Structure 1
Amino acid sequence: MGTPVVDTPGKKKISGTAKGYLILFGLVVLSWLIFKILTPSNFGSPANMLSYFQASLIATVGAVGFYFVMVMGMFDFSIGANIMLSAIVGCVFASRFGMGYAGLIIGSIVTGSIVGLLNGVFYVKLHIPSMIVTTGLALIYESIANYIAGGVEQTLPSNLRAFGQMPGNIILAVLACVVAYIFLNYTKIGTYTYAIGSNEFVAKNMGINVDKYKVLAFILSGAFLGVMAVLTISYGSSMVAVTGMASMSRNFVPTMGCFFGLAFKKYGMPLQAIVIGEFVINIIFFGFIAMGAPTAIQDVITGLALLIIITVTTKVTKGEIVK
């Protein structure tokens, strides 16, 4: 819920949602301006910004799904393994089995949902932290992906890459975000998700089947990660199965987008914050690439910048209780 507008004599306060948008767009402008000053010749043109935004849409789709899990206070270390496995299965159905776009979309989303279901069921049945459960399961998903791929890089045929460029990528990403918004704001799942996230004990006393909705949150997250897998393999054209938790490198960008969503939940705009937040992350990322900075330096400075952003945007007011 956004902060209501309060009228005071001689002074008008903007609503919480408007304040949230101002902060987010301020971050976009600030991050663009810094790198535009540092490297004016090869960064930040309108064409560049459109390219950055398209790249950000990939992680945005996964982040809006993962938000259902994170807002309940749970975590998922199998995001990267899910994306990898879903993309490989979708590619196999699309090309090897000749099912085209139907195989790519259905194969990826169904696989992502099954992975989410397994994560949720194991989590509620084993009664151990979600981080531990999903870390162990990630190793299994990586092995399955490697077995299906046969140790060979899976390449999506060039005639099946419409979701890797405009307008296909934007259409699919917008549809995913709209579905997430509807689930979060107009369904029982969304209502109970927030109730459990706010206070699980109270939610149980209200008669909410907490375990059921935690499993549903993981399934929803998995389905959106399946859509992210479609965008990922369409954009990059191929997917390599990795093992030994190497897939975890794919966890961080969607997770960072979720932090924006959690930070701006108090303004009543978590999903909008994820979309713009992922854009900010990509501006910073491509800014360092334009500067020619080493990858290690990029990761350090990007991490520090995001810590500062999240710290500022989640500043706790006096007397507020943080869960």
Structure 2
Amino acid sequence: MSTTKKFSGKAMGYLILLGLVVLSWAIFKILSPHNFGSFGNMLNYFQASLIATVGAVGFYFVMVMGMFDFSIGANIMLSAIVGCVFATRFNLGYFGLIVGCILTGTIVGALNGMFYVKLRIPSMIVTTGLALIYESLANYIAGGVEQTLPSNLRAFGQMPWDIILALVACVVAYIFLNYTKIGTYTYAIGSDEFVAKNMGINVNKYKVLAFILSGAFLGVMAILTISYGSSMVAVTGMASMSRNFVPTMGCFFGLAFKKYGMPLPAIIIGEFVINIIFFGFIALGAPTAIQDVITGLALLIIITLTTKATKGEIVK
């Protein structure tokens, strides 16, 4: 009986998500039939969405516990710059790019988690302050110069390597969430931290681990980001926060569809929907300000419709 319910719940979740894909595609296809929505275009939209998807599946470990991270953009920027420096200045090639990005992202995640646990103040405040430090560090390492990845090191910016890397990241996230103690305790803490403590779970330890995992996935996102865009510019004054938006919205899809037992597929498809909307406005030639307003409103409506809490349910 429970298996049947689980299956029907997942089926409903997939139907809703696929409906959102078709609806968003149809709207922009009608409005801009000649330069939007072809098979080739949709494949490009999906490729672009994979970049944020990788970061979102990692960030999900943090968000499902009720925490937040305002240093996502700074982490991606710093990790991409360090990876590029390792690959080019130290002539380590792909090894330097991969290790530099993932190691930096992981270290940033560990710092976020440890500062959050030790300072005992809201994660939003901690990560906002740390984001300023990461931005300054990235600017120092870059020396105020745009860091460009050579064309012979951009394989992860195109098929099939971008899809392979994103797929590996999603599979790893799925294994952690469903087949490890970390995943079990992550959901337990997210459901009720007080009960989790009474069960003997070391809550602070697993919160730090959540930030570490999130940082590692953001490091992978940094690989895809600099490979796809070919360069990274260090910014300061919290300008990196513009990179927070898309992975965070993907996480909202994951949280919204957790009740259907399919958070990771929801993140993947949700990021695709976000990119369809984004590229749809580009096809229409809409001003950036209008794009941001309408995209934000559309996504708020989508999340609101899919996260109606049942009576007595606590939404974190």
* Amino acid across the alignment from 2:191: S
* Amino acid across the alignment from 1:147: Y
Q: Which residue of 2 aligns with 1:184?
A: 177
Q: Which residue of 1 aligns with 2:285?
A: 292
* Amino acid across the alignment from 2:4: V
Q: Which residue of 1 aligns with 2:155?
A: 162
Describe the superposition over 1:213-232 as per-residue Cα deviations: whole angstroms up to 9, x where unpaired: 00000000000000000000
Are residues 1:256 and 2:253 paired?
no
Q: Which residue of 1 aligns with 2:26?
A: 33
Q: 2: distance between equivalents of 1:140 and 1:278? A: 29
Q: 2: distance between equivalents of 1:299 and 1:3? A: 41
Query: Is the alpha carbon distance of 1:167 and 1:14 closer, same or farther for their aligned partners in structure 2, counting shifts above 3 Å?
Result: closer
Are residues 1:222 and 2:221 paired?
no
Q: Which residue of 2 aligns with 1:90?
A: 83
Describe the superposition over 1:16-56 as per-residue Cα deviations: whole angstroms up to 9, x where unpaired: 00000000000000000000000000000000000000000
Are residues 1:111 and 2:104 paired?
yes
* Amino acid across the alignment from 1:265: K
- Give runs of aligned pairs for residues 1-323 of structure 1, distance below 5 A: 4-5=3-4, 15-323=8-316
The answer to whether the 8 A contact 1:58-1:173 is kept is yes
Describe the superposition over 1:66-115 as per-residue Cα deviations: whole angstroms up to 9, x where unpaired: 00000000000000000000000000000110000000000000000000
Q: 2: distance between equivalents of 1:82 and 1:321? A: 31
Describe the superposition over 1:115-163 as per-residue Cα deviations: whole angstroms up to 9, x where unpaired: 0000000000000000000000000000000000000000001000000
Query: Is the alpha carbon distance of 1:293 and 1:209 closer, same or farther for their aligned partners in structure 2, counting shifts above 3 Å?
Result: same
The answer to whether the 8 A contact 1:52-1:282 is kept is yes
User: CA shift at 1:315, angstroms?
Assistant: 1.6
Q: 1: distance between equivalents of 2:54 and 2:75? A: 14
Q: 2:133 is paired with a residue of what secondary structure?
A: helix
Query: Is the alpha carbon distance of 1:179 and 1:207 closer, same or farther for their aligned partners in structure 2, counting shifts above 3 Å?
Result: same
The answer to whether the 8 A contact 1:4-1:16 is kept is no
Q: 2:4 is paired with a residue of what secondary structure?
A: coil
* Amino acid across the alignment from 1:128: I
* Amino acid across the alignment from 1:116: G
* Amino acid across the alignment from 1:137: L
Q: 2: distance between equivalents of 1:113 and 1:225? A: 8
* Amino acid across the alignment from 2:141: I
- Note the aligned Cα RMSD (angstroms): 1.3
TM-score when normalising by structure 2: 0.98
User: CA shift at 1:14, angstroms?
Assistant: 6.8
User: CA shift at 1:4, angstroms?
Assistant: 4.9
The answer to whether the 8 A contact 1:93-1:103 is kept is yes
The answer to whether the 8 A contact 1:3-1:267 is kept is no
**Matched positions, count:** 316
* Amino acid across the alignment from 1:311: T
Q: 1:53 is paired with a residue of what secondary structure?
A: helix
User: CA shift at 1:319, angstroms?
Assistant: 4.5
* Amino acid across the alignment from 2:65: M
The answer for unaligned runs of 5 or more in structure 2 is none
Query: Is the alpha carbon distance of 1:215 and 1:319 closer, same or farther for their aligned partners in structure 2, counting shifts above 3 Å?
Result: closer
Describe the superposition over 1:149-189 as per-residue Cα deviations: whole angstroms up to 9, x where unpaired: 00000000100000000001000000000000000000000
Q: 2: distance between equivalents of 1:204 and 1:101? A: 43
Q: 1: distance between equivalents of 2:35 and 2:308? A: 35
Q: 1: distance between equivalents of 2:131 and 2:211? A: 14
Q: 2: distance between equivalents of 1:48 and 1:166? A: 14
Q: 2: distance between equivalents of 1:121 and 1:5? A: 42
TM-score when normalising by structure 1: 0.96
Query: Is the alpha carbon distance of 1:14 and 1:193 closer, same or farther for their aligned partners in structure 2, counting shifts above 3 Å?
Result: closer
Q: 2: distance between equivalents of 1:5 and 1:172? A: 33
Q: Which residue of 2 aligns with 1:10?
A: none
Q: 1: distance between equivalents of 2:24 and 2:3? A: 29
